[in-house]
Structure 1
Amino acid sequence: MAYERILLGMGNPLLDISAVVDDEFLKKYDIKLNNAILAEEKHVPMYEELAAKDNVEYIAGGATQNSIRVAQWMLQIPGATSYIGCVGKDKFAEEMKKSSQQAGVNVQYYEDETTPTGTCAVCVVGGERSLIANLSAANCYKSEHLKKPENWALVEKAKYFYIAGFFLTVSPESIQLVAEHAASNNKVFMMNLAAPFICEFFKDVLDKVVPYMDYIFGNETEARTYSKVHGWETDNVEEIALKLSQLPKTSESRKRIAVITQGSDPVVIAEDGKVKKFPVIPLPKEKLVDTNGAGDSFVGGFLSQLVQGKPIEECVRAGCYAANVIIQRSGCTFPEKPDFH
């Protein structure tokens, strides 16, 4: 089968603990809406408090895993995608494995017996979300697992690789191995800026891997943070996308494409010195359930067409479709079959 194991994702598998909260709750734990951060000491009690809520939901999450699950759903070709990350040996890991396998993703988790599976608190207020990740086992991924013959076989089999920038905090070595493999075998290597804190506090590891990126994804906040950190002195998303696409590149076989989403504003694509904008599908406010996974879903939809060799317009259209479906549901979940033509 031409599409077997064509797309491989690597990242931090987290079980989303998602609940609707109020502004008081945000204040109590010093949380900003529309942000993604790593949990600190002060956030620890919050997970129990969320879990005790009547409206709590548990959903397989983690940015890369979301994108891969959505790509798999859009493709509707069993076994087209694979995913690698680290979990604990516990019921959360079992839940997550079940949910990903049901979606048709070939998951190869590295199991850490001493650390619990990572969780992500998803606090939803008025459809907007804030993410607080407690990486736990996700933080324990080792490149030795990747180098095992059965896992490296997935790398060799894949033609496209996607990794969210969050994984830079865990295993830059694994990312480097895959990036170098992609560059020397003329495969497509893609990453996501993932969150402002990655651009700020992991600047050096990010800069080291940017030259390998054939596609760089991000949203407007991440793009502006990247610009600020690199002293570009511009807040203009189109200019930033263009600069990102033109950063030095390891492999000359293809030019880098920068893809920046802006919520309900048009998607910005910078390619070969030109910028294009694509409108997203409008959604009335009353239909918005929660924005958790919107960016991940956009990437998943985009990848589902890219691996089939479709033009960029189709990739963006599929990305917008997937994001539109997901924000009308709780968490990164989707109906049985896509209605995308």
Structure 2
Amino acid sequence: MAYEGILLGMGNPLLDISAVVDDEFLKKYDVKLNNAILAEDKHLPMYDEMSKKYNVEYIAGGATQNSIRVAQWMLQIPGATGYMGSIGKDKFGEEMKKSSMASGINVHYYEDESAPTGTCAVCVVGGERSLIANLSAANCYKTEHLKRPENWALVEKAKYFYIAGFFLTVSPESIQLVAEHAAAKNKIFSMNLSAPFICEFFRDAQEKALPYMDYVFGNETEARTFAKVHGWETDNVEEIALKISQWPKASGTHKRITVITQGADPVVVAEDGKVKLFPVVLLPKEMLVDTNGAGDAFVGGFLSQLVQEKPIEDCVRAGCYAANVIIQRSGCTYPEKPDFN
């Protein structure tokens, strides 16, 4: 099987500014742990303050890009994955390009002249993380970029697509173009619920894309928010996963499979009207460095096996393996080679 360009991701490329901070800092900027939000004006000074006050690391991030980087790392086949999104023409943008190309991804960034490269403050306290994203240039992605022949060629070539829900805030029309292409050509299209605020405030865009999703990823908090928004009288994650999997589909070629992670609790997989639970490999607390990127890594590991047409058990196992590696390191980073078998 030819793996070149088999998996394509689209999303918001962000440079993670990651640091271990204290409760005081979270309180000052009104930030809750284990949450993901978009920066408001009150958050803007925090990026500067973090880099002055704490020991920060800069890591090429953004949810979709993290997943694609992990899938690429797991596959170890240069150019197996591609990625599109918008960056600024600046130092951070150059860093991002260097970092992604070094990891073997075929990146086609749209470079925006007017806005700086997007950043994400990753505040870590006691191993738990909170994300505050200042999208900037990531917010400027244009459908015209996707339609350029050299970029659309990546869409034509790919057999699997993955887009985090965060991209619904930027370019729902790009998502729709790719989703409709996937349905027409019997390809696999997958998305992530990504954050409670996406389910709440971008419900219409999410519902428009949902019929095209062959795989829906998310965590237990996002699943419960999705259920609440849709008036489902349950917070049982298995039940919610099942209901999402049974949502009407735009094409009957593939059934929908819902995959919900629950931290240290089993992964919930709903398909064909049934639910399966897969226990995760538990990590001793003292080995946990930070949970940033764990969900993205899970998806990346999962997709690395999916594109090889492995059974769902192997996909989940690879997802858990990748998440386990990531949470033992700072940010969404990994050793040179995986030892997954």
**TM-score for both structures, normalised by structure 1:** 0.99
* Cα distance in 2, alignment partners of residues 290 and 172 from structure 1: 31
The residue number in structure 2 matching 1:130 is 130
Gaps of 5+ in 2: none
Distance apart, 1:54 and its partner CA: 4.2
Structure 2 equivalent of residue 174 of structure 1: 174
User: 1:9 is matched with which residue?
Assistant: 9
**AA partner of residue 328 (structure 2):** Q
Identity, in percent, stands at 84
> 1:53 Cα shift?
3.2
User: CA contact under 8 A between 1:292 and 1:327: conserved in structure 2?
Assistant: yes
Alpha-carbon separation, structure 1, partners of 2:98 and 2:52: 23
CA distance in 2, matches of 1:117, 1:254: 37
Deviations 1:45-98 (A, max 9, x none): 100011113420000000000000000000000000000000000010111111
Contact 2:267-2:280 at 8 Å conserved across structures: yes
Task: Look up the match of 1:92.
Answer: 92
| Alpha-carbon distance in structure 2 between the residues aligned to 1:53 and 1:320 | 34
Which residue identity lines up with residue 305 of structure 2 in the other structure? Q
Match of 1:138, SS? helix
User: For residue 297 of structure 1, what is the aligned residue in structure 2?
Assistant: 297
CA distance in 2, matches of 1:103, 1:189: 23
SS at structure 2 position matched to 1:161: strand
Q: Root-mean-square deviation (CA), in Å?
A: 0.6
Q: Distance in 1 between matches of 2:243 and 2:290?
A: 32
Distance 2:92 2:272 in 1: 44
Cα deviation digits, residues 128-175 of structure 1 (max 9, x gap): 000000000000000000000000000000000000000000000000
Once the 2 structures are TM-superposed, how far is the Cα of residue 270 of structure 1 from its aligned partner?
0.1
**Any conservation in 2 of the 1:11–1:64 contact (CA below 8 Å)?**
yes
Q: Which moved more, 1:46-55 or 1:259-268?
A: 46-55
Q: Residue 117 of structure 1 aligns with which residue?
A: 117
Distance in structure 2 (CA, Å) of the matches to 1:44 and 1:178: 33
- Pairing 1:250-329 to 2, within 5 Å after superposition: 250-329=250-329
Aligned equivalents of 2:206 and 2:251: distance in 1?
A: 17
Residue correspondence of structure 1 range 18-57 to structure 2 within 5 A:
18-57=18-57
Name the counterpart of 2:152. 152
Q: Distance in 2 between matches of 1:201 and 1:142?
A: 21
Q: Which amino acid aligns with 1:316?
A: V
For 1:50 and 1:72, the matched residues in 2 are separated by 30
Aligned partner of residue 52 in structure 1, secondary structure: helix
Q: Which residue does 2:238 correspond to in 1?
A: 238
For residues 53 and 256 of structure 1, the distance between their equivalents in structure 2, rounded to whole angstroms, comes to 46
CA distance in 2 between partners of 1:40 and 1:2 (Å): 44
Is residue 19–residue 53 contact of structure 1 (8 Å, CA) maintained in 2? no
Deviation at 1:176, TM superposition (A): 0.2
The answer to whether the Cα contact below 8 Å between 2:20 and 2:54 also exists between their aligned partners in 1 is no
Q: Post-superposition shift, 1:321?
A: 0.1
- Asked whether the 8 Å contact 1:268–1:277 carries over to 2, the reply is yes
Show CA shifts across 1:197-251 (max 9, x none).
0000000000011000000000000000000000011000000000000000011
Indicate the residue corresponding to 2:336 in structure 1.
336
- CA distance in 1 between counterparts of 2:269 and 2:50 reads 38
Q: Which amino acid aligns with 1:290?
A: D
Deviation at 1:254, TM superposition (A): 1.2
How is 1:211-230 mapped onto 2 (pairs within 5 angstroms)?
Answer: 211-230=211-230
Give the aligned residue type for 2:32. K
Corresponding letter in the other structure for 1:314: D
State the SS of the aligned residue for 2:298: helix
Letter in 1 for 2:263: G
Residue type of the alignment partner of 1:115: A
- Please name the residue that 2:183 is paired with: 183
- Equivalent residue, structure 2, for 1:143: 143
